[in-house]
Chain A
């Protein structure tokens, strides 16, 4: 495309206005990426529908907006965040509250959990764990086509940093509650880095909430390094209001014999785009990607998954399901790439969607790109409605239609939920989904901050 679009121009300007301030608070190493990423962003711009990866998502609804502020944290902001408590019953976690993606400064900026795991601010870690950061930062989040990733690299100043030393097995999951709170329409970007060394194991829960009614847009990048024999689970629970735009890019790099799973549960949100990149970078690695979304009104949910089989004997699976109501639109874009030489690959992908109304729309684009012959790959995609025979069966046994529909939809969604390994969270999700399907719930009921 020739010329730079107006929308892109807006963000180029934003960079120019803020870069000095951002660079001032960030470490030298992180700053060293900025200029290059900015150039790349200038070249690629904000993705349009002409970009294959964004073919079904119109970002302009959120990007072509005059955000009054670009979020950079001030001490006083964090006092508000501290008040927030998430109370999922029986869920025992190491809780961390983030404000607009930033680690609260009033606590220790970087603390060590009893088991030896470090959690804290990326910015802070850049000095304390300089060697780790230099080894991993910016190594996995790469893209030749997606300008948003470069925009993040160019401007993001902080985010969460987790370091799990070799052999540490964390039994309690880490829960990050990511709050979006602003007095004005706000754009924010954060950058997370998670390093799991050899034979270590953690589960991470990320809950996204919006506290303020203003329009907000988040463009977050998370890089994860999963070492040899290590184990990593990430579960994202997204429950935001219709004015919230959330773009997440998660890059999971796996070494030999490691396993990783990603689970995106989207209950509510204005514009949601979750890109998950699984890079199987060692023999015998295993990855699973799950996603469930329930969309209504004018919401748009887009799940993008890229599984890159770069080494032999790796296994991957994908399961994505969606229920679309009202005028909601959904997209699924899943790609399995088997590189030359990645023999013995097993890769599966499944995407099912249910349309409940005539105005709902679903676009799916599963892809297989295979350059090795000793592989078993398959994908299946369906778009349809509830099975009328199943519905009839239930009705014939005295269950009323509304109830029967609910049961079927719940069963449909549960197939994804059952892959959550943390039991209290799984029960909670079942419960939330049930309420959501009944229409009782527009946002997280147990959240103490009653946002309207």
Chain B
């Protein structure tokens, strides 16, 4: 094998050699440089492979032929091989990316570039502290040169600031090194470690200076203004090198040198890392300039890895995987983002919508963003999961909490950015120029990122390669995205059908899972059928829709917490993309995502506590949590409630569901919301009534108020889809209330609501969505009289409304009957009254919706409307058949559920042989009621039909006040401000207090970030002062 020393010889030899050409032969020189970088990559790559297959052992390379400490030695072990390989790969790809720019500047720029990469290699390999210093300086000077690659005034300023800062830093390092030599008598790192300098105060100061400086090289918050300026002003192609390459080397050095300081230092490093991770991301929330934002994110991510390095003694065996997964993830994703930035060439993130002009680039951008936030299936997801689990198991909950806060802050700006990219206006004239040499490196890091996720599986308990099967299908759908929508729709339905068949054995025998499985998969297929009425390609729709369903399927079939969380995050990602497809969905999808991410982190913490108690990833760990049980159950409940949109956490829902596309609304409303319910049910069953006594009581109240506020707000809506969205909040309130009772009847009611809500909300959103598209408006008062144009739609909405309002004979009544029995038996009278009141309000909006759309007079512009498409009506009528079946034979479904629930709760419901349901309070027979009511209905309908022939027809708005036509005729429409009186009486209940609360929270965070970032005054000298203050404060904390 080629010795590692040749990395240095090759790079320097070529760098010097390029000088021969002076200013000529630039292209040739460029290829010489790339060949050199490729050679370096090859050398470290072959060592890496040898270490991986076990054919090599750690090598010590003695320069000058003398043993250390007498001469400088380098080391090549598996760690060094990995890190040099990463650095050389980024060097090679970065060199390809920057090829044209380097060529323009000249051969000397190529020399500087290759020397920079070489210096990072030596920094990783050397075992001599002074040699480390020399090559750190080489790196700094080369960096100072590369900063001005673009030759702008800003980059000049940044370069000078960088030089001043690193000058001060390296001076202090030198003092540390010379005194380390004075005390240890050696410059060899291992020799200094062996000398244990920490024993004396002065020795400790020397170690302090060395480590503190190496930390400062990693640009810790807040002493990092100079680093941010570099990211902002330099060529993004070089930003990638700094963020991925330099930082990787710097982290490795820290890892290498840290044993000098002993145990205490690990703790300091983890704290510094945490402050950097949270601080940098928090300040980043105010940032609008893309490259600077990437700088904040880079520094944050490096802080996270620094934290992990500091946590090494705590993490034990898991350390290597966690640190490497997080580092590699940052390394690949950040390089990719910087490279994309270099293609887009837009300073402000609000202008990044230009990215949409190239869908491949757009997809890769999305992948990088999701990888950074830690979504599956990327390595950071696995790393972060392991990290949180290990931290909580080792009693470091607060560290886990802080890490998740930092991660959330990163989500704040990353998803805002993504929203701009996906939804902002896009000017047509500009063309995106994508040279292949800039495109290929981005593709390569994307592929590596996906592969790295795949290879993370064996390192995490509970992870399974099977989770990648649906992802492969999604990838396939992405590849056939150029086909027309109906083909992809068919493929998707077939895929889901096959996958359901494949997964069914996993839920078979577990009734609760089977019900949710049916809702998710069957509901999913039905909502996909609706998609047949869409023409064109629907670019990007099918992969994300299937991603959501894959996540739901994973949640309901998995038996361990990791799988659940994997599915949960997958579902969140998929649904986010579905929601943001709506025309005005940008802010709503954003708040949906933030609530979801926050909720997911709460769930993760809860899982961590469960894992810490049970020492297993199996879901059974949720039973009898012994570590902080109240906290754990509360976190989990609140986490799941972000998805069920319970009061206080609901503000994302109306916009997200209301603005979504017509077939997305039923997906996210009828199907997706049930994921939260499934989580809550699972949680409650494991928790049990005893443990969760207080929590359940509170949740009962929350459920009651959610029902009230949701329904009330629905009745005041003028927008048809928003009304349905608010109605979902109310319905989910019922469900929460019902299952919080923790009795057999309560849960039966809960299940009935779950099934009903799925059925009728899917119908309503499908039909109303179809009508809204046809009518061209969401506003109820701009519709009317559509009953004649769309009789089938009317009938469907009528049936759904009857179900929703809980009127006999349909299954809504079954829910209500069970519900009141349950409330009375439980004794939650006051809450019960609130829910009852909410139920009456449900009548109001049910009537409003039905009346405004279908009754009254037809609008002029709707004269030519036709019935909505059969691709909507077919699934709708399938669902209606479901309602009738469930209404007529409730015992078929409810009896097995009741029996299952009897395992958990005392049985209070009997089923008579004729289908009569009996409680100690009353009884009810679904099919008898059905027969009676339907016959009455038919009679009345027939009578009405007979007498309608005599009515006189009125034209629209033929109303005249005192010979004047009203100025805005629609205000005279009955559904305009229909319940004004009610609004006056109790409308304050739905005043946007909660929305205001969350707005204020976010404003406070942003204001805080705005104040903190004033630290970065722009003055290079001030940044040098920051460094000295940092050193002094750090000293006072660690030694003084």
> Does B bind A?
no
